[in-house]
Structure 1
Amino acid sequence: MVAACGAEVSIEKNPGVMLGLALGVGARNGLDKVTIMTSPGLDTFGGWLEQLLAESTGKMGKGIIPIDSEGFGSPVDYGSDRLFVYIGIDSRYDVSQDDAVTALEQSGQPVIRINLSDVYGLSQEFFRWEMATAVAAAVLQVNPFDQPDVEAGKVVTRELTDAYEKRGALPIENPVVEEEGMRLFADESYGAALRKGSGEIISVQGVLGAHLASLTAGDYFALLAFVDTNSKNRELLQDIRRMVRHSTKLATCLSVGPRFLHSTGQLYKGGPDTGVFIQITCDETEDLPVPGRRVTFGIVKAAQARSDFKLLANLNRRVLRVHLGQDVERGLASLRDSIAAVLRQSKSK
């Protein structure tokens, strides 16, 4: 692959350059939701691609929005802003996956297929995609090696942890609404808009409805989960993604914090203003002290979440924070049910 992507190879025969041109030109023409699909057992490669594409291209109001682990849907589940990439391994051929991808192709959706003979062929894809990402960034006219919004998040996090060191607590926040242990937060101006859109009686479901009502064609929906993503919790989060995708036909993301701050976090803040975000936080049931400091690891995580929320809000991004308390599974189930009710209600209008 290194030789195939060499400078002496013509553009039309260079796999890295051609892939990069497809990504970059696609993004400039509205196909900026690059949806990654892989053969069974290759899920983690999608996570690596997500980080590479998001952090490298998401800046200056531009960017490729990688959609990872969304699951295979039918053609009716998707809008017209997708570019699908299916990375398949012959030895792990899955007929249901192939049928799903073929259905997308037949419906007119743009699909890039990359077929590998065996799992060892995956190693060459790391180089191809790094090359392609650099080319795509050039097409978008952004610097793929810069990460300005990642650094900004670190600064605000340090300010919050320093404040905790002095006062023994993080700054007090007032929720937009609170019900049965679930608290919803937004910045002052967006919170006022959500209260107004909620209806005469401000409720969790009403505020969620006002938030999701801001979704329009070309947007994407992202869950920013600063919670334990064990199998049950992840299943609940994926349920929310599937419901939103099916109801709105929009792309959906699931980013696990604080890890995503160094990947998709750059895109969410530096990329196009097309994201609608729900940040999910909780009270830590188990915590450990940071040696030599007053703060705990749980406080550091909370500060990172607040920092990201603040930066998104300062950029006028549509972001709502849902604090679940200690029982995360119960809280996620309640959030899923509330969103399901909102989507049913919007569909009946």
Structure 2
Amino acid sequence: TLVASPAIYDLGAWLEQLLAESTGKEGKGLIPVDREPLGPPAVYGADRLFVYLRLASAPDARQDEAVEALEHAGHPVVRITLDDSYDAGAEFFRWEFATAVAGSVLGVNPFDQPDVEASKIATRRLTDEYEKTGKLPPESPTLVSDRSLAATLRAHLGTIEPGHYVAILAYIEMNAAHEAELQAMRRAIRDRYRVATCVGFGPRFLHSTGQAYKGGPNTGVFLQITCDDAADLAVPGQAYTFGVVKAAQARGDLQVLVERGRRALRIHLDTDVRRGLQTLRSAVAQAIG
């Protein structure tokens, strides 16, 4: 679990990609947790290792207190101090070297990404189908408007066990309002089940944590979120739009997750994504309450 000072907060995204894509394959790997809000020690399970990347020139007092509380409660904490932001270059070397060593210990090739390619192949099949027929194959995802949404979520999240993790895979616009809703969902799930939680915006995460989700240990419970596009653009030289590409990427990735025996549920929103996320957050709260 990565904890970084606010001024170097985005370093976590780089580390997340490095660790997940390099080690998550052949049923093995490390599951990095980035941007998860810090909570009290009691909401964490015994499977956590916290790495605190603290910027000495711009520390955060509340963050220091939260990490100290975790340490005093017996959770393992690794502290790395950066004197200033230029020390990020040294961290790149440290973590790349450590990842290569971890790959050797795990017995995997850290430079391979076999499961990223699997999603690409599934996506190409869907876009090829669209070019031939003018539409994607029929499907029946769970709609956010379904009356049984909370019950569906309860059954899905009810499969969580100690040592598992939950990943929210959101194929929606990445902005502060949407992230706040997703963070509220992950926090509620973490606090209820005491498991690690991840949030990824699609298709961005496919070349990051997506490799570990499909190729790493089968301990993930996945909630995929898709939406209708309020606006769309044609892909130059192709018969489909960027919205179709995004939809094909989401469906292709879900297909591979299911083929790999992963527990995955897709929830589809309409064009009002903010309202749909609020409805979903309420349903999650009802499901785990």
* TM-score normalised by L of structure 2: 0.98
SS in 1 for 2:178: helix
Shift in CA distance, 178/154, structure 1 to aligned 2, threshold 3 Å: closer
2:82: which partner in 1? 116
1:39-89 deviations in Å (ceiling 9; x for gaps): 112121000000000000000100100000001111011000001000001
2:98 aligned with 1:153, yes or no? no
TM-fit CA distance, 1:229: 2.1
- Give the alignment partner of residue 257 of structure 2, picking from 312, 317, 323: 312
Task: Give the alignment of 1:223-242 within 5 angstroms.
Answer: 223-242=168-187
**More displaced, 285-294 or 55-64?**
285-294
1:248-277 deviations in Å (ceiling 9; x for gaps): 110000011001111111000000000000
> Quick check: 2:167–2:222 contact (8 Å CA) kept in 1?
yes
> Quick check: 1:58–1:268 contact (8 Å CA) kept in 2?
yes
- Give the alignment partner of residue 271 of structure 1, picking from 201, 210, 216: 216
Distance 1:154 1:93 in 2: 41
TM-fit CA distance, 1:178: 4.5
Read off the aligned partner of 1:281 and give its amino acid letter.
Answer: T
TM-fit CA distance, 1:297: 0.6
2:71: which partner in 1? 105
Distance 1:70 1:49 in 2: 14
Read off the aligned partner of 1:313 and give its amino acid letter.
Answer: V
> Quick check: 1:280–1:324 contact (8 Å CA) kept in 2?
yes
* Fraction of identical pairs, as percent: 56
Task: Give the alignment of 1:219-298 within 5 angstroms.
Answer: 219-298=164-243
1:20: which partner in 2? none
Read off the aligned partner of 1:260 and give its amino acid letter.
Answer: F
SS in 2 for 1:163: helix
1:314-347 deviations in Å (ceiling 9; x for gaps): 1111000000011110110000000001111xxx
> Quick check: 1:258–1:305 contact (8 Å CA) kept in 2?
yes
Distance 1:308 1:231 in 2: 25
- Give the alignment partner of residue 137 of structure 2, picking from 156, 171, 182: 171
> Quick check: 1:179–1:203 contact (8 Å CA) kept in 2?
no
SS in 2 for 1:68: coil
1:136: which partner in 2? 102
Q: Which runs of 5+ in 2 are unaligned?
A: none
Task: Give the alignment of 1:316-335 within 5 angstroms.
Answer: 316-335=261-280
TM-fit CA distance, 1:179: 6.0
TM-fit CA distance, 1:231: 1.2
Distance 1:203 1:71 in 2: 29
Distance 2:45 2:140 in 1: 37
Q: Using CA pairs under 8 Å that are at least 6 residues apart, name the structure with larger relative contact order, 1 or 2.
A: 2
Read off the aligned partner of 1:240 and give its amino acid letter.
Answer: M
Q: Which runs of 4+ in 1 moved over 6 A?
A: none
2:264 aligned with 1:342, yes or no? no
Distance 1:46 1:121 in 2: 14
Read off the aligned partner of 1:249 and give its amino acid letter.
Answer: R
SS in 1 for 2:57: helix
1:10: which partner in 2? none
Q: Which has the larger radius of gyration?
A: 1
- Give the alignment partner of residue 127 of structure 1, picking from 88, 93, 117: 93
Q: Which runs of 5+ in 1 are unaligned?
A: 1-34, 183-201, 345-349
2:25 aligned with 1:43, yes or no? no
Read off the aligned partner of 2:131 and give its amino acid letter.
Answer: E
2:36: which partner in 1? 70
Read off the aligned partner of 1:95 and give its amino acid letter.
Answer: A
Task: Give the alignment of 1:25-40 within 5 angstroms.
Answer: 35-40=1-6
Read off the aligned partner of 1:207 and give its amino acid letter.
Answer: T
* TM-score normalised by L of structure 1: 0.81
Distance 2:209 2:109 in 1: 16
